[in-house]
Amino acid sequence: MSEKIYVLDTNVLVHDPQSIFAFKQWPIGIPIVVLEELDRFKRENTERGRNAREVNRILDQLRRLGSLRDGVPLPNGGKLSVIFPEDRPFEKMSRSGGQFSEEKVDNAILQMASSLQNLGNSVTFVSKDVNARVKADVIGVTAEDYRKGRVDKEHFFRGWTTVKVPAVQLKREFPEILQELVKEKQVIPNQFVLVESNHNPFNHRLFRYVGSKKFYSVDHPRFIWPLYARNPQQLMALNLLLDPSIKLVTLFGPAGTGKTFLALLAGLHQTLVKDEYRKLLISRPVVPLGKDLGYLPGDIQEKLHSWMLPIHDNIEFIVHHASADKHLHAVQAELRGHVLHDEHSGKKHKKNGKHSKKRKDGLPGGLGGVEDLIARGKLSLEAITYMRGRSIPYQFIFIDEVQNLTPHEVKTLVTRVGEGSKIILAGDPYQIDSPYLDFSSNGLVVLSERFKGERCFGTVHMENSERSELSELATRLL
């Protein structure tokens, strides 16, 4: 009896072990060679290995309901079968005198999908491998990407919107257009509104919607270092990064937009100066071009050094500005005064003595170089590999290059956040190194889309490169 069947590639199962249940009432076919691949992967101490083991556990539970070869019922109304080759369609195909090699697992999977189709079934091959989908099309099998959790690239949530008004409205405390946006349900909590003059985009004001029909005006924060936001998107990012009520922040943008720099600036400020967190924890995914990280000599910090060079560069840049600016001491004296202004609540607080401690070099808050901060327990550079199973309280957590992580891996990271901690995820979803992820399916974009509107979450899509004129030109032309 012919029917519609979805044949799943191995990469779909290791991307999302729950994909077995994601096709509503339709039958699912898993080629026997996929189980062999899962058997190889299950020994790995990686996310792929863990997901392979989870798939195996799910299949072991399902086989108690009947024969996996004959098909077992699924909770969503469909059924799952392990499929075997019935005929050898590739033997009938020849392209330029050659044939598809059945020794390759991808080709063996495609052969089984083609076999099912030759039996009169309507087969759809589901794979996250672009080349496998292309080969499926060549042999006449319908193919598609795994779509669960995908985000529309053209309509993803940027975290801010722009509106234009007559210049006279910018003189009011709150332009009328803001309440119009609320009435039309065009803003959600923690979304920014950039209100520009009709005839002069440089004449603008920035507001953040906090819910309950309330906005507040966003102003430039003050640091002990002579550093500031260079464009409205950077100001939005700093506003979220410095707000203790926002526990999860995502920052998008190409190279040079300031994602890493702003996160480190905000983290150092809140850890060393305001003493809101015990430590600044930084991690980045390791996507090697050669041997895995474990083959490098040295202890864990020596292994991580090369991967953490962007962090070193940005912190040293902040230290350089703190040391070199001739007006720094005047700024320090002002901020070490009796009263500090809290930019978020509007309240004034007396400065705690612990905030006025100085290092021998005279820099407030004890800001030193990277090695000095690590030695004093104020900075920790860690590998994502060792984050699983931890609970991280009272820390400012920054994870960079998150576009290379799956939604499941991002979930693992966010669920590590303990009491009093804040986590920032940053990356460029247009520049992905993983072969099975793209803009719409990587963990950074998926998480941002699912969390939008939550009171503890904020996001900013940063568009303007501030690294250098050459960097911005390369972003646009290459």
Buried b (16+ CB within 10 A) or exposed e, 92-129: eeeeeeeebeeeebbbbbbbbbbbbbeeebebbbbbbb
Residue 254 and residue 256: Cα distance in Å, rounded?
6
On the question of pLDDT at 181 being above 70, the answer is yes
Q: What is the pTM of this model?
A: 0.76
Higher pLDDT, residue 469 or 307: 469
The 3-state DSSP class for residue 163 equals strand
Of 132 and 473, the structure prediction assigns the larger pLDDT to: 132
Helix (H, G, I), strand (E, B) or coil at 456: coil
Is-contact 193 165, C-beta < 8 A? no
Q: Give the pair of three-digit tokens for residue 437.
A: 């992820």
298 pLDDT band, cuts 50/70/90, is: low
Predicted local distance difference test score (pLDDT) of residue 306: 63
Q: How far apart are CA 72 and CA 369, in angstroms?
A: 60
Cα 457 → chain centroid: 13
- The pLDDT assigned to 99 comes to 56
Highest average pLDDT, of 21-30, 314-323, 460-469, comes from: 21-30
In angstroms, the CA 74 to CA 6 distance is 14
Domain 4-144 matches domain 224-477 at the CATH topology level: yes
Please tell me which residue, 47 or 277, carries the higher pLDDT value.
277
| pLDDT tens-digit map of 208-251 | 999 999 999 999 999 988 888 999 999 999 999 999 999 999 99
pLDDT score for 24: 84
CATH number for the segment(s) 4-144: 3.40.50.1010
CB-CB contact of 455 with 189 (8 Å)? yes
Every domain of the chain and the residues it spans: 4-144, 150-218, 224-477
Identify the band that residue 321 occupies on the pLDDT scale cut at 50, 70 and 90.
low
pLDDT (mean) for 42-52: 88
* Stretch 381-392: mean pLDDT: 81
Name the class of domain 224-477: alpha beta
- Which amino acid would we find at residue 366? G
- Please tell me the predicted confidence (pLDDT) of residue 352: 41
